[in-house]
Amino acid sequence: MFRKGTSTGLSPYEHTTRRDRSRQLKISLAVASPCVALLLSRFVWKATESSKPRRRWRPLTLDVLLVHTNESLGLRDRIRDLTGTLQKNGKKVFDIFSERDPTVRQDPQAWLFGKILSNAWVVFVLTRKMGELYDHLDAHPEFVEPHEILRRIPHAYDGNLVTVLRFFLDQQDDSRRLIVRFDELEAEDSIVGSGPRFLTGGRLFRLPAHEEELLQTLDA
Q: Could you tell me the CATH number of the domain that includes residue 77? A: 3.40.50
Q: Are residues 150 and 199 in the same domain?
A: yes
Angstrom distance (rounded) from CA 156 to CA 220? 34
d(CA 165, CA 113): 12
Report whether 62 contacts 119 (CB < 8 A).
yes
Which residue did the predictor score with more confidence, 152 or 137? 152
Tell whether the model's pLDDT for residue 179 goes beyond 70.
yes
**Is 178 contained in some domain?**
yes
For residue 138, what pLDDT is reported?
Answer: 82
Query: In this structure, is residue 183 part of a structural domain?
Result: yes
Give the lowest-confidence range in 79-83, 101-105, 135-139, 147-151: 101-105
Is residue 1 in some structural domain?
A: no
- 159 contacts 109 by C-beta, under 8 angstroms: yes
What is the tally of structural domains in the chain? Answer: 2
**Could you tell me if 133 and 187 lie in one domain?**
yes
**Residue pLDDT, tens place only, 87-102:** 999 999 999 998 787 7
Q: Are residues 107 and 184 in the same domain?
A: yes
- How many whole angstroms separate alpha carbon 65 and alpha carbon 124? 8
> What are the tens digits of pLDDT across the range 12-67?
545 455 555 566 655 554 555 555 555 555 555 555 555 555 544 444 568 999 99
Give residue 209's identity as a one-letter amino acid code. Answer: A
Element (H, E) at 181: strand 177-182
Residue 160 included in any domain: yes
Across the range 158-185, mean pLDDT stands at 84
CA distance 146 to 161: 8
Bond prior to 208 in cis (omega within 30° of 0) = yes
pLDDT value of residue 169? 72
- Residue 166's H or E segment, with its range, is helix 158-167
* Structure confidence at residue 3 as a pLDDT band (50, 70, 90): very low
161 pLDDT exceeds 70?
A: yes
- pTM summary value: 0.69
Judge whether residue 194 has pLDDT over 50: no
Please state, rounded to an integer, the average pLDDT across all residues of the chain.
76
The CA-atom distances, in angstroms, between 59 and each of 122, 136, 218 are 19, 40, 12
In a domain, 81, yes or no: yes
Interval 143-147 mean pLDDT: 84
Q: Which residue has the higher pLDDT, 200 or 181?
A: 181
CA distances from 128 to 20, 88, 118, 124, 143 (A): 96, 29, 28, 12, 20
pLDDT in tens, 101-120: 777 888 888 999 898 888 89
Share of the chain above pLDDT 70, in %: 63
**Whether residue 34 is found in the same domain as residue 116:** no
pLDDT of 91? 94
The residue range of the domain holding 205 is: 64-219
**Distance between CA atoms of 209 and 203, rounded to whole angstroms?**
14
